[in-house]
Amino acid sequence: MKNMISKAAVAATGLVFIGSNVFAQSLADAKKAIDAEQYQKAKSMLKNLTATQANKDENFFYLGWVYLEQDYVDSAKAVFTKGIAANPKSALNYAGLGAVARLSKDQAGAQSNFNQAITLAGKETKPFQYVGEAYLLGEPDGNAAIAVLQKGLAVSAKDPELYIALGDAYRTQLKNTDAVKAYEDALKINPKAAAAKVATGVVWRQANNWDASEEEFKAALAIDPNFGPAYREWAETDIRWAQKVPTQASAKVNEAVEKYSKFLSLTDNSVESRLRYADFLYQAGKFKELQTEATALSQMPNANARAYRYLAYSAFENGDSATAQSAMNSWMTKADPKRIIPYDYYYQGRIQLKAKDTTAALQTLEKTVKLDTTQGDLYADIAKIYYAKRQYEKAGDAYRQYVSKSKKATLNDYFSEGFSYYFAYGDQLASKATPKPVADTMLLAKADSAFAYIQSKVPTPNTTVTLYRARLYDLKEKDRNNIQGFAKPYYEKLIEVTKAKETVAEADKKNLAEAYAYLGAFAEYKEKDMAKATENYTKARENDPNNAQASNFFNRKNKPAAKGKGK
């Protein structure tokens, strides 16, 4: 009996210790987990706290904030609402609802909730901090964030997290000196603020000062060896280093992957953390690894739809077109329309092009460039589709956008622009529509502008460009019998640059014949100089015996005169 009592006592004691361990998980522990980006751990703690301490609105706020960090906006809104039900004067939860409204593009709702949060804050600094941080979510509004954070500091200048948030706000505006000072002020209050050290490292990364950046991450880890965000930011710094210093790219990318793996080991390795890792792999150009990770994520029960986005991207980059198309279709159908970003359309269009579905690709790519004006490279694909469809004016417009927006544009692209406009004008001239359209001479002006640009960039005139400049000015003549000579200087230049070649090819000879035939027509109809006309038409026939204009001239010239009547 005694032994049984002892065993029961030990068991009871064990239960007490287990229970004590659960309830020892305080809000401070949860906040520490949030700072370390251990979101699953933080959520577990906070769900327990909202159940056991349902009257404390703070518990609901921080749980909602975790949902925001993980991009679950609807869940965050529901929790913040519960926080206000627990305490109708909860400034923090009004700050949370303001953040939700702002992410939902409800600016009036955001402002109303932020105002309520500040009104209710009193002498508490946390509402100011989180309203400031809310302004940095989505598309940052640095000015608004700075204004509210400075109001918080006026309430109390002894909250280090206010200074860290202020530094983050300055960082969005690239005001690096102000940002570093704010982080230094945070460290003066709390020398153990590893987050301030990490944030300072990010500032130096923005300035491409890799060594200084690394030193800050090392300093953060000296404060807390298990502070995961230091490894994540260090990894992302290595990626930028690799992009900016190609000679070190391979080594830095590999180091980045190692550091990110370390970050994952220090977090809860949740789906959200793995999705962030997927984003990192994409930035690192590790498409094989990304496809493996995205495939695993997509096969999980109730898979997060974002896994299909990464699977589509990586499969396309790896040449796995079938998987890319299937994954992109899954992402586009499963995702909330608000989650679709311009880059999704970018890849969707490229996938459709690969599948030779040019009609769908054209629609998608045009949507992409309207949504994201930085995607200038896509105009080349748009132009090629229009050109293949013989819609030359639209092709010319697309090439014009391409050469003005893309850093990859070459002189060949300027030629394609000019060529497209030239054919567009020719089509209008040849149109058999009723009523017949009036040919738009602006098309010729645009074509000539593109051709002239090429000639301004080459050391000697390009014969092909010179030929088409001559032809487009010849199109302006309309009637050879009333020739004005618009094309004359260009055909003369064509003869000059062609004859200067070491070897004159058969194609060159045909072009020479065309030039001499034009000069023959000018001499015949404008100058009324038959000797000069005969000379030029002769040269045209010598270069191309089948030149129609030369043949026509000599047929007319050699035709016997009609005899008079009634003699």
For 394-442, how does the pLDDT look when each residue is reduced to its tens digit (9 = 90+)?
A: 999 999 999 999 999 999 999 999 999 999 999 998 998 888 888 899 9
Residue 245 has pLDDT above 60, yes or no: yes
Domain that holds residue 525: 461-556
Q: Does residue 151 lie in a domain region? A: no
Q: Does residue 300 lie in a domain region? A: no
Torsional sign, CA 65, 66, 71, 77: negative
State residue 562's pLDDT score: 54
Q: How far apart are CA 323 and CA 372, in angstroms?
A: 26
DSSP secondary structure letters along 179-231: HHHHHHHHHHH-TT-HHHHHHHHHHHHHTT-HHHHHHHHHHHHHH-TT-HHHH
State residue 561's pLDDT score: 58
Residue 1 has pLDDT above 70, yes or no: no
Distance of CA 322 to the CA centre of its chain: 24
**Domain holding 525: CATH number?**
1.25.40
What is the pLDDT confidence band of residue 2, given thresholds at 50, 70 and 90? very low
Q: Does residue 159 lie in a domain region? A: no
What's the Cα-to-Cα distance from 50 to each of 81, 475, 485, rounded to whole Å? 13, 80, 88
Torsional sign, CA 186, 192, 195, 198: positive
Residue 374, SS3 per DSSP? coil
Global pTM exceeds 0.85: no
Q: How far apart are CA 437 and CA 433, in angstroms?
A: 7
State residue 399's pLDDT score: 97
In the predicted model, what is the mean pLDDT of the chain? 91
State residue 217's pLDDT score: 98
Instruction: Give the residue from 441, 440, 447 showing the smallest Cα distance to 467.
Output: 447
- Residue carrying the six token digits 């090629």: 384
**Residue 172 corresponds to which tokens in the numbers above?**
């969005």
State residue 566's pLDDT score: 42
320-342 mean pLDDT:
94
Instruction: Give the residue from 337, 338, 336, 362 showing the smallest Cα distance to 349.
Output: 362
State residue 436's pLDDT score: 84
Instruction: Give the residue from 253, 262, 263, 264 showing the smallest Cα distance to 288.
Output: 253
Task: Name the DSSP letter for residue 543.
Answer: H
Ramachandran region of residue 71, left (φ > 0), alpha (ψ -120 to 50) or beta? left
What is the pLDDT confidence band of residue 273, given thresholds at 50, 70 and 90? confident
123-145 mean pLDDT:
96
CB 112 within 8 A of CB 118: no
Q: Does residue 526 lie in a domain region? A: yes
Q: Does residue 510 lie in a domain region? A: yes
State residue 336's pLDDT score: 87
Domain count, the chain: 1
Q: Does residue 547 lie in a domain region? A: yes
State residue 470's pLDDT score: 96
13-27 mean pLDDT:
46
Q: b/e for 409-433, b at 16 or more Cβ within 10 A?
A: bebebbbbbbbbbbbbbbbbeeeee
Q: How far apart are CA 313 and CA 324, in angstroms?
A: 7
- Residue carrying the six token digits 């997060």: 304
Q: What's the angle, vertex CA 142, arms to CA 137 and CA 143, rounded to 5?
A: 135
Q: How far apart are CA 488 and CA 518, in angstroms?
A: 8
211-229 mean pLDDT:
96
- Residue carrying the six token digits 């010239």: 557
The percent of residues above 70 in pLDDT, for the chain, comes to 94
Q: Does residue 505 lie in a domain region? A: yes
Between residues 562 and 443, the one the model is more confident about: 443
For residue range 22-76, what is the model confidence (pLDDT) as tens digits? 434 799 999 999 999 999 999 999 999 999 999 999 999 999 999 999 889 999 9
Q: How far apart are CA 490 and CA 482, in angstroms?
A: 18
The percent of residues above 90 in pLDDT, for the chain, comes to 84
Q: Which amino acid is at 357?
A: D
Q: How far apart are CA 114 and CA 135, in angstroms?
A: 10
CB 294 within 8 A of CB 314: yes
Q: Does residue 483 lie in a domain region? A: yes
